[in-house]
Amino acid sequence: MSYLHWLIAISLAFVLLERLRPWRKGQPLLRPGFLRDLGFLALNGHVLALVTAGVNGWLAAEATGLLQRAGLLLPATPIAGWPLGAQVAAFLVVSDFVQWCVHNLLHRVPWLWSFHKVHHAITTMDFVGNFRFHWMEIVVYKSALWLPLALLGASGEAAFVVAVVGTIWGDLNHANLDLRLGPLGYVLNGPRMHLWHHDQSDEGGAAKNYGIVLSLWDHLFGTAYWPRERSPAALGYPGMQEMPQGLFGELAWPLTRRR
Ligand SMILES: [Zn+2]
Ligand SMILES: [Zn+2]
């Protein structure tokens, strides 16, 4: 199955689950902005995912060659000989930590935050929101991933499985599903915790819960905020009225704004 097949199957599964077991009852599928966010899904989930997967694979191969020639590739580091399951686990943990660091930067560096605001303009959460982000985020996230890919020696197959798991978990974090993880919530992220990342108020800090698949990093580094039985009063970011409506308006906004 190609990534596109997975993307379609995962999206259909979430449409079905959100209809059958919605957390917030009465939230319509065709909420305002749904079609615009489908455009983000097609662009970020399919078109740009294909381009960056190719570029990343090429960069990782080039980087491996460079590191080998420079004698910097430690013999104990590569995981290429490990069974697929172990490669997936190792690459998932390392790449998730790298992405947690990048997500911190997206909030803390003003020019990166202007791009990340597109994602934080979400006011109604459902799985499609996972794909509502500016393409610049793909550039920043994915360029941070080719080095660990090269250093670890993870196979293309392992990187593919991690990409599919990342899509499922990203969709889940934004889905209108009430997944109670219990004590596992100290390790894994979920919709209840990520909802607080989209909180418009600064309760518990202006930004919290940067985790993608694992919440472990937030609990370890003190950025976790999760009143388990409550939801934020409003989603978004202060001053979000500045964000234009419409796919192309949102894509152009951070670029034109900087100029
Ligand atoms: Zn964020
Ligand atoms: Zn989000």
Nearest-ligand number for the alpha carbon of 132:
2
Q: Output the CA 194–ligand 2 centroid distance in Å.
A: 6
Q: Output the CA 128–ligand 2 centroid distance in Å.
A: 10
Query: Counting beta carbons within 10 angstroms of the beta carbon of residue 16, is it exposed (0 to 12), middle (13 to 18) or buried (19 or more)?
Result: exposed
Q: Strand ranges (DSSP E) for the chain? A: none
* Inter-residue contact 150 to 63 (CB < 8 Å): yes
Q: Output the CA 191–ligand 2 centroid distance in Å.
A: 9
Nearest-ligand number for the alpha carbon of 104:
1
Structure-token match 């090269």, residue found: 150
pLDDT tens across the length of the chain (259 residues) = 888 899 999 999 999 999 999 999 989 888 989 999 999 999 888 777 667 767 767 777 777 777 777 776 655 567 888 999 999 999 999 999 999 999 999 999 999 999 999 999 999 999 999 999 999 998 888 888 877 877 888 888 998 999 999 999 999 999 999 998 889 999 999 999 999 999 999 888 877 999 999 999 999 999 999 887 889 999 999 999 999 988 998 998 888 875 4
Nearest to 145 by CA among 124, 129, 127, 166: 166
The amino acid sitting at 36 is R
Q: Output the CA 65–ligand 1 centroid distance in Å.
A: 34
How many other CB atoms sit within 10 Å of the CB of residue 68?
11
* Inter-residue contact 144 to 99 (CB < 8 Å): yes
Q: Output the CA 208–ligand 1 centroid distance in Å.
A: 8
Q: Output the CA 148–ligand 2 centroid distance in Å.
A: 24
Structure pTM? 0.89
Q: Output the CA 24–ligand 2 centroid distance in Å.
A: 17
Q: Output the CA 156–ligand 1 centroid distance in Å.
A: 28
